[in-house]
Amino acid sequence: MTLLVTGGAGFIGSNFVLDWLAASDEPVVNLDALTYAGNRQNLASLDGDARHVFVQGDICDRDLIDRLLSAHRPRAIVHFAAESHVDRSIHGPGAFMQTNVTGTFTLLEAARGHWGALEGDEKAAFRFHHVSTDEVYGSLGPTDPPFAETHPYEPNSPYSASKAASDHLVRAWHHTYGMPVVTTNCSNNYGPYHFPEKLIPLIIVNALAGKPLPVYGDGQQVRDWLYVKDHCAAIREVLTRGRLGETYNIGGWNEKPNIDIVTTVCALLDELQPDAAGPYARLITYVKDRPGHDRRYAIDARKIERELGWRPAETFDTGIRKTVRWYLDNQPWVQNVLSGGYRDWVTQQYGAEQGA
């Protein structure tokens, strides 16, 4: 038995692979293109571990996927690979269409060929697990009920539109071809190995460097935050026991405005690594808003709890403390990321004066 994981060198994918191999001896073939967001260092603890086979390659490469499927005969594909950053999708949507839409299509077609040739128990057990986002549902007003699985798709950014397209492809491959798929739509993750272009790691890294902490617009946009290892646990449940063709929303029951996230991180840093220059919150800087910025996301995660018994294990207080601690304890990882292409991105996004 083997899993094929795509995007397993990224933030969530690497946490998933590490957690999977900590709990199981089932091997993982990890297909990742190592874009700017893919980092082999996340998987350094698996160096020399025969249960982990890393393959650098593109999910748009049909020949490569066909070769991997026939060589390893995985019993499931867990599909994380994507372009994932909303701001990048606004600057350059092309890569999002290519990887998130064409890449998912290519993977689905290869998987369909592989699954179609299986027989008996092997065929019945095969799964294609598509990892998606709550952003496909659009934006909520302050008093709207949270997103249920039945909420209409109303994506607002090039990123969320590309993820919505991929969700629709997965749905259609089930409906038309009978492909054994499950889809999960999760809220904002945070935790170890989070690339510091996203809000929480960016705030930690900038604060420690004495740089401005950029808050878009009025800072009152609301996100639902989930510790990444809880997301990985939910995926394991859905992969094992999720009903075919179903979608499951995953969330932390933890809605917070961005400014509260930023001040919480600052307060934790004040406690764990005080700065002689004063409280880190002095660095908070309101900057131009993200175009088309979604105001509020909230997840109704009752279906996955009812059907599969999953609930997050971490509260925001415990998860964010672990996360800040991890960044303080893993400065070599941070410095390695900062010395790479990330520098160019920060300059492009926030201007030369805030660049690395």
- Candidates 32, 58, 83, 135; catalytic one: 135
Does 101 bind ligand NAD (CB under 6 A)? Our answer is: no
Q: Which of 86, 165, 179, 301 binds ligand DAU (CB under 6 A)?
A: 86
Q: Which residues in 125-184 contact ligand DAU (CB under 6 A)?
A: 133-135
Residues 254-283, mask of contacts with ligand DAU (x by CB under 6 A): ----x-------------------------
Does the protein bind ligand DAU through residue 85 (CB under 6 A)? yes
163 in contact with ligand NAD (CB under 6 A): yes
Residues counted in the chain: 356
Q: How far is the CB of 83 from ligand DAU (least distance, A)?
A: 9
The site partner of 59 among ligand DAU, ligand NAD, none (C-beta below 5 to 8 Å per kind) is ligand NAD
Which x/- pattern, by CB under 6 A, does the window 21-60 give for ligand NAD? Answer: -----------xxxx-xx-------------------xxx
Q: What is the torsional sign of CA 202, 203, 208, 209?
A: positive
Token pair for residue 106? Answer: 């290519």
Does 78 sit near ligand NAD (CB under 6 A)?
A: no
Give the one entry of ligand NAD, ligand DAU, none that residue 38 binds, where binding means its C-beta sits below a cut-off of 5 to 8 angstroms depending on kind. Answer: ligand NAD
Task: For residue 159, indicate whether it is catalytic.
Answer: yes
Q: Do 33 and 56 form a contact (C-beta atoms < 8 A)?
A: yes
Instruction: Check if the beta carbon of residue 78 is closer than 8 Å to that of residue 5.
Output: yes
- The residues assigned a catalytic role are 134-135, 159
